[in-house]
Amino acid sequence: MPHSHHGDAPRPYRWRWAGRDADGRRISGESVATRREDVARHLAEQRILVRRIQRKRGMGARVGRIGPRDITLFARQMATLLRAGIPVLQGLGVVAKGVEKPAMRLLVETLSKEVTEGASVAEALGRHPRHFGGLFIHLVAAGEQSGTLERMLDRVATHKEKIERLQGRVRRALWYPAVVLVTGVAVAALLLVKVVPRFEGLFRDFGAELPALTRLTLSLSQAVQHYWGWGLALAIGLPLLVHAGQRRSAAFAGHLHALALGLPVLGDILDKSCVARYCRTLATTLGAGVPLVEGLESAAGATGNRTFSTAIGHIRREVLDGQPLHVAMRHSRHFPALATQMVAIGEESGTLDQMLERIADHYEQEVDDRVDVLTSLLEPAVIVILGVMVGGLVVAMYLPIFALGGAI
């Protein structure tokens, strides 16, 4: 199994260059590369005498981010070309020419260069761990050894498509309540800052004792007007701090992930999606002939949750010590009884990879159903909450006017 010794590749940039060609004519152009030296070397190979190379700034300098979808498409395209009998190096060249995103094109060109210099495809991928995970590298290594690289690349692409679809569903489940909350707070703040103060002067002229609800609303309005800047800073700063904290500290990320699994409704969706991703990854690696221990290594990184990654690490150690997979899973207590029972049947009948696929399908369906239920429950809840908020403010503002009308 090739591991990365090179760390992650630095980010690519756009460079503007100017110089003279072999005949002394002035020429200029643009290149995408990670370093100035790479541009200079590339131009020297074309016998161009360089006068200056500058890194582009601003909007025109964007080279695009490489996303999971780009990597999936790359795997699909390579599989198609290899199946058509095109050699790996030529295939990489064809894919590089067809890619529109400069960052992705540079990545494919780098892979091509590394393979030309004698690296296997798996070794070349292993030098870019940010873009190609353990599963991708394991499967490609297995494919190269058994001469079924195109089949393995197809498997990787199918696997990534299913995982991305699942992630999309989970993201939808998390975004929906967040959007609802932000909308509710924004509407309330707008009413308290813009509408309520207009009534305040009117009530001052009344000189009468105001109802408790009205007094509370006016106090709230004054507090929001005084502290809205702090509130906004907190609303923007807190998520950014949490995000930075979980990237810097593994312990903080672990606590955060455990907390997320304990949330009502959302925790259940996250939990089931982690089980599905674990089973799907393990099924894909086992089906490709990758040993169970290596498959578990890939699965630990694929769940996207530290609590599950740690649990899978323990399972892997138990399997190394000779325990059957279903026993190790039962010990971890993070997996539902149904999943461990099906794994036991799979192990006994020698159909573990197919059984894991079935478990993954089952829990992905459960995630879909839960997300649908959550969305359908939240829609009426939003209307009710916004209605109560706006209605409450209207009542609070008109109570003194009704009271005054009654007193006359």
In a domain, 304, yes or no: yes
The whole-number pLDDT of residue 186 equals 85
Both 141 and 88 in one domain: the answer is yes
The whole-number pLDDT of residue 16 equals 80
Residues 108 and 132: beta-carbon distance below 8 Å:
no
Both 325 and 231 in one domain: the answer is yes
pLDDT over 60 (residue 94): yes
pLDDT over 90 (residue 398): no
Average confidence (pLDDT) over 334-355: 95
pLDDT class of 339 with cuts at 50, 70, 90: very high
Both 315 and 216 in one domain: the answer is yes
What whole-number distance in Å separates Cα of residue 131 and Cα of residue 6?
13
In a domain, 2, yes or no: no
The whole-number pLDDT of residue 407 equals 55
Residues 144 and 23: beta-carbon distance below 8 Å:
no
19-69 pLDDT per residue, tens: 888 777 888 777 777 777 777 887 787 778 888 888 777 655 566 788 889
More confident residue, 43 or 105: 105
The whole-number pLDDT of residue 27 equals 84
157-210 pLDDT per residue, tens: 999 999 899 888 888 888 887 887 788 888 888 888 888 888 887 787 776 778
pLDDT class of 119 with cuts at 50, 70, 90: very high
What rounded mean pLDDT belongs to the chain? 86
In a domain, 283, yes or no: yes
The whole-number pLDDT of residue 60 equals 55
- Most confident range (mean pLDDT) of 7-11, 94-98, 314-318 is 314-318
Q: Which amino acid is at 171?
A: R
> Which of these three, 109, 130, 161, is where a domain ends?
161
More confident residue, 304 or 150: 150
> Which of these three, 114, 130, 161, is where a domain ends?
161
pLDDT over 80 (residue 6): no
In a domain, 7, yes or no: no
Instruction: Annotate the chain with three-state secondary structure.
Output: CCCCCCCCCCCCEEEEEEEECCCCCEEEEEEEECCHHHHHHHHHHCCCEEEEEEECCCHHHCCCCCCHHHHHHHHHHHHHHHHCCCCHHHHHHHHHHHCCCHHHHHHHHHHHHHHHCCCCHHHHHHCCCCCCCHHHHHHHHHHHHHCCHHHHHHHHHHHHHHHHHHHHHHHHHHHHHHHHHHHHHHHHHHHHHHHHHHHHHHHHHHCCCCCHHHHHHHHHHHHHHHHHHHHHHHHHHHHHHHHHHHHHCHHHHHHHHHHHHCCCCHHHHHHHHHHHHHHHHHHHHHHCCCCHHHHHHHHHHHCCCHHHHHHHHHHHHHHHCCCCHHHHHHHHCCCCHHHHHHHHHHHHHCCHHHHHHHHHHHHHHHHHHHHHHHHHHHHHHHHHHHHHHHHHHHHHHHHHHHHHHHHC
The whole-number pLDDT of residue 408 equals 53
Both 278 and 138 in one domain: the answer is no
pLDDT over 80 (residue 12): no
Both 48 and 81 in one domain: the answer is no
Both 156 and 167 in one domain: the answer is no
Q: How far is CA 203 from the centre of its chain?
A: 52
More confident residue, 12 or 395: 395
pLDDT class of 5 with cuts at 50, 70, 90: very low
In a domain, 115, yes or no: yes
pLDDT class of 1 with cuts at 50, 70, 90: very low
Both 140 and 202 in one domain: the answer is no
275-296 pLDDT per residue, tens: 999 999 999 999 988 899 999 9
In a domain, 40, yes or no: yes
Both 295 and 208 in one domain: the answer is yes
What whole-number distance in Å separates Cα of residue 294 and Cα of residue 324?
15
Both 147 and 167 in one domain: the answer is no
The whole-number pLDDT of residue 126 equals 93
More confident residue, 212 or 361: 361
Both 155 and 179 in one domain: the answer is no
Both 206 and 190 in one domain: the answer is yes
Both 215 and 266 in one domain: the answer is yes
Query: How many structural domains is the chain composed of?
Result: 3
Residue from 154, 119, 148, 118 nearest 136 by CA: 154
Read off the pTM.
Answer: 0.74
> Which of these three, 127, 161, 195, is where a domain ends?
161
The enclosing domain of 115 has a CATH number of 1.20.81.30
Domain that holds residue 74: 68-161
